[in-house]
């Protein structure tokens, strides 16, 4: 009996606050560059924006959709769909797949978003309720629905198999990538693009996040004693995934293997994290990858810099990894690119692939004085060369929704 179909990464694409393509993004991670800056370009009355207590964010800079996307229809889309389209262009270009895909029904597209077209919604409500304008954008509905990014990318590349978006708050991209792993492994499709996109930095969103009291007015300092909240970000991260023999047959350059996926729910609280769900998701991912904890060299932590999450994640890692936790290199790249909400797991998956490719682990910047309750190796402030065979990526979301991926080296 042949073994299960293996799934490999042949393309990566990102749009982030520290780089609008993978080479720029990875260079910024290696250098420990921060994307935190003053809140800007909020299309709302200035008197309202000035009243925001939180005046910082990790925003995408110098993004011109006209130079980054294939389909001119995307120029009319919401910013979150444009980010997804740009990331997909990069990922497919790297994969060197012939597009449109030859057999569209043997391909899939799962690109999620936690918030969807939130900028479109705010613009429309601002027009209606603040400026008392009765007219409306005829494309508004198509812009804000959470499946628009997936639909646009599917149209661009002739993807006729399963095409939809996932929604699981900060675990959205990781769920999307994990589902694609299952689709390919189980033989439903041979090729897929998966990840998530987010563009949710506007006045209403900032007010909502400010009200829940998890945003920092100072910066994002995961696992640090001085941490006081996360920093809202935006962007997209996607992977092109293929069945191993399909990739080999066309001579593809394989970047890494996606080996494991785990998911579990806390089923306890909408805000406060619990240890059991993250533990179970990590255990499932290791079991699915058929490796032991000691075989993981690098862990890209969820690491939001909120007081409860960082301690909870540290405890979960210790319980799952046991003695191996003390030898594990861990970092939160959110310290640099901020919390990209649903897109975080996609961008962090790309960071894991690059860590394996280049034998280098990015740092957790701003880690001046560690929290005594967070006492693992978080690669403080400066990245380091390290042979990475296996990398794990954690995504733990509001509602207790946990998803974890495990990547390994490109098969010989």
Helix pair 79-95, 148-157: axis angle to 10 deg:
40
Quote the percentage of the chain above a pLDDT of 90: 87
Confidence at residue 140, expressed as pLDDT on a 0 to 100 scale: 80
Give the residue extent of every domain in the chain. 7-249, 264-400
Q: Which residue has the tokens 């629905």?
A: 145
What pLDDT is recorded for position 403? 98
- pLDDT at residue 2, rounded to an integer: 66
- β-sheet bridge partners, residue 215: 230
pLDDT above 60: residue 1:
no
Burial 235-260 (b: 16+ CB within 10 A, else e): bbbbbbbbbbebbeeeebebbbbbbb
Average pLDDT over residues 340-355: 98
Q: What is residue 156's predicted lDDT score, i.e. its pLDDT?
A: 94
Long-range contacts for 246-254 (Cβ within 8 Å, ≥24 apart)? 246/190, 246/191, 247/8, 247/10, 250/97, 252/8, 252/10, 252/95, 252/96, 252/97, 253/10, 253/94, 253/96, 254/8, 254/9, 254/10, 254/410, 254/411
Alpha-carbon gap, residue 302 to 341, rounded angstroms: 11
What pLDDT is attached to residue 146?
93
* Average pLDDT for 395-412: 96
The catalytic residue among 152, 175, 246, 302 is 302
pLDDT band, very low/low/confident/very high, at 179 (cuts 50, 70, 90): very high
Average pLDDT value for the chain: 95
pLDDT of amino acid 61: 96
Gap between the terminal Cα atoms of the chain:
22
The tens digit of pLDDT for each residue in 192-236 reads 999 999 999 999 999 999 999 999 999 999 999 999 999 999 999
* CATH H-level superfamily of 264-400: Thiolase/Chalcone synthase (3.40.47.10)
Instruction: State yes or no: is 58 an active-site residue.
Output: no
Between CA 320 and CA 390, with CA 411 as vertex, the angle to 5 degrees is 20
Higher pLDDT, 259 or 124: 259
Q: Give the lowest-confidence range in 172-186, 199-213, 234-248.
A: 199-213
Annotated catalytic residue 390: no
Average pLDDT in the 85-100 region? 97
Residues 35-54 pLDDT 10s: 999 999 888 878 788 889 99
How far, in Å, CA of 3 to CA of 45, rounded? 60
Q: Grade residue 385 by pLDDT with cuts at 50, 70 and 90.
A: very high
- C-alpha span between 29 and 33 (Å, rounded): 6
Q: What pLDDT, on a 0 to 100 scale, did the predictor assign at position 138?
A: 78
pLDDT, tens digit, for every residue of 116-156? 999 998 888 888 888 777 777 878 888 889 999 999 999 99
Mean pLDDT on 159-174: 98
User: Looking at the domain 7-249, which fold is it?
Assistant: Peroxisomal Thiolase; Chain A, domain 1 (3.40.47)
Are 163 and 154 in contact by the 8 Å Cβ rule? The answer is yes
Mean pLDDT of 358-382: 97
**Amino acid 70: pLDDT:** 79
- Tell me whether the CATH fold assigned to 7-249 matches the one assigned to 264-400: yes
Among all chains, which residue has been given the structure tokens 């689709």? 183
Mean pLDDT of the 59-82 span:
91
Read off the pLDDT of each residue in 318-326 and give the average, rounded to a whole number. 98
Residue 265 pLDDT: 97
**Annotated catalytic residue, options 109, 170, 224, 352:** 170
Banded model confidence at residue 267, pLDDT cuts 50, 70, 90: very high
- The question of whether 337 is a catalytic residue gets the answer no
Q: What is the pLDDT of residues 270-310, one digit of tens each?
A: 988 899 999 999 999 999 999 999 999 999 999 999 999 99
């Amino acid at each position: 009996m042949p073994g299960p179909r293996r799934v490999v990464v042949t393309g990566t694409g990102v749009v982030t606050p520290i780089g609008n393509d993978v080479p720029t993004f990875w260079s910024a991670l290696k250098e420990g560059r921060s994307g935190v800056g003053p809140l800007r370009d909020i299309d709302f009355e200035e008197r309202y924006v000035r009243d925001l207590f939180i005046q910082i964010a990790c925003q995408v800079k110098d993004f011109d959709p006209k130079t980054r996307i294939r389909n001119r229809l995307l120029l009319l889309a919401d910013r979150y769909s444009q980010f997804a389209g740009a990331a997909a262009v990069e990922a497919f270009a790297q994969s060197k797949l012939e597009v449109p895909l030859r057999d569209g029904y043997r391909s899939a597209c799962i690109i999620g978003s936690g918030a969807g077209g939130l900028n479109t919604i705010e613009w429309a409500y601002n027009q209606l309720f603040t400026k008392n304008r009765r007219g409306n954008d005829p494309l508004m509905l198509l812009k804000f629905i959470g499946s628009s990014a997936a639909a646009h990318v599917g149209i661009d590349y002739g993807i006729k198999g399963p095409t939809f978006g996932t929604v699981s708050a900060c675990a959205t991209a990781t769920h999307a990538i994990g589902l694609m792993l299952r689709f390919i492994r189980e033989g439903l499709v041979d090729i897929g693009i998966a990840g998530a996109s987010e563009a949710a930095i506007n006045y209403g969103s900032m007010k909502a996040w400010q009200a829940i009291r998890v945003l920092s007015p100072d910066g994002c300092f995961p696992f640090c004693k001085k941490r006081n909240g996360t920093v809202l970000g935006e962007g997209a991260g996607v992977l092109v995934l293929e069945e191993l023999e399909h990739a080999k047959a066309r001579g593809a350059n394989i970047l890494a293997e996606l080996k494991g996926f785990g998911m579990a729910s806390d089923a306890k609280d909408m805000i406060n994290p619990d240890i059991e769900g993250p533990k179970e998701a990590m255990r499932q991912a290791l079991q699915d990858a058929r490796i032991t904890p000691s075989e993981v060299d690098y862990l890209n932590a969820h690491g939001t810099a909120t007081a409860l999450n960082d301690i909870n994640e540290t405890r979960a890692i210790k319980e799952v990894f046991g003695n191996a936790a003390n030898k594990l290199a861990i970092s939160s790249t959110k310290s640099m690119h901020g919390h990209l909400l649903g897109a975080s797991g996609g961008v962090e998956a790309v960071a894991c692939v690059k860590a394996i490719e280049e034998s280098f682990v990015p740092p957790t910047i701003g880690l001046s004085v560690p929290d005594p309750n967070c006492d693992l190796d978080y690669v403080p402030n400066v990245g380091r060369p390290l042979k990475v065979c296996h990398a794990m990526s954690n995504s733990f979301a509001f509602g207790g929704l946990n998803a974890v991926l495990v990547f390994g080296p490109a098969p010989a």
